[in-house]
Amino acid sequence: MADTDNDIITRILSGDQRAYAGLIDRHKDRAMTLALRMLKNRSDAEEALQDAFVRAFHALPGFERKSSFATWFYRIVFNVCSTALSKRVRVRVASFDADDGDPMKAGEPVSTDMPDIDCERAEFQAIVREEIDAMSEQYAAILTLFFVQDMGYDEITAVTGLPLGTVKNRLFRARVLLQRAVVKRCGNREHAGMEKESER
């Protein structure tokens, strides 16, 4: 039976520092996905991830295990990436405040299903990844935590430090944007295919 994260952490804190490589291997891929979605640059994401792993290692003695290691660690990754973003000089073209008067309020129900689209599954998944990558980092981060890390609202709140209402609001709007983008792309391909058929 494979060691749990807590088993590995116990070994590390007992002096087996090499065991930390096991935690890195277990979480590096998903953490890298989150960093890439936020920073939009592989070099920056790799640097941020290295920083996050170093910070997590030094902070490990203070990890109280009230949450999972994954939630605790992704919080560190999120903070490192957020700090990196705050240092970039850029113009934000959208407001992400929860109380910005947007009609898509956090209290509204959000469908977890993507619409029925005539795309092959692999193609559909590729399109979804591309559209998430193209989103603003704050929407991309929320979708990554929800879909890739399979986190619930409470865990996302713990990772991002955002109020629950803000998390729900951003996730709702991010899903709507994602659905519209995927429908548009797959719909355009279907329309193009119909035009080709009519030309024959």
Span 7-23, pLDDT tens digits: 999 999 999 999 999 99
C-alpha to C-alpha distance for 21 and 40, rounded to whole angstroms: 26
Distance of alpha carbon 184 from alpha carbon 195, whole angstroms: 16
Q: What is the pLDDT of residue 121?
A: 67
Amino acid at 26: R
Instruction: Specify the CATH class of 121-199 in words.
Output: mainly alpha
- pLDDT at 48 exceeding the cut of 90: yes
| Residue 56 CB partners (closer than 8 Å, separation 6+) | 72, 73, 76
Angle at 191 between CA 189 and CA 197, to 5 degrees: 105
Amino acid code (one letter) for 154? D
pLDDT band at 86 (very low <50, low <70, confident <90, very high): confident
pTM, rounded to two decimals: 0.69
- For 73, other C-beta atoms within 10 Å of its C-beta total 26
User: Among the ranges 94-98, 119-123, 150-154, which has the highest mean pLDDT value?
Assistant: 150-154
Measured distance CA(187)–CA(190) in Å, rounded: 5
Percentage above 90 pLDDT, the chain: 50
Q: Tell the residue number behind the tokens 């939630």, with chain if given.
A: 71
Q: What is the pLDDT of residue 189?
A: 53
CATH numeric code, 5-86 = 1.10.1740.10
Query: Are 23 and 8 contacting, i.e. CB atoms less than 8 angstroms apart?
Result: yes
Average confidence score pLDDT of the chain = 79
Return d(Cα 98, Cα 151) in angstroms, integer: 20
- Encode pLDDT of 120-134 as tens digits: 667 777 888 888 888
Is residue 100 very low, low, confident or very high in pLDDT (cuts 50, 70, 90)?
very low
Collapsing DSSP to helix, strand or coil, 56 comes out as helix
Q: In terms of residues, how long is the chain?
A: 200
What does the pLDDT average to over 67-76? Answer: 93
Per domain, the residue ranges of the chain are 5-86, 121-199
Question: What do you get for the CA distance between the two ends of the chain, in Å?
Answer: 60
Q: What is the pLDDT of residue 112?
A: 41
The C-alpha torsion from 103 through 105 and 107 to 108, rounded to 10°, is: 50
Integer CA distances (angstroms), 135 to 37, 128, 140, 141, 158, in order: 8, 11, 6, 9, 22
Confidence band (pLDDT; 50, 70, 90) for 187? Answer: low
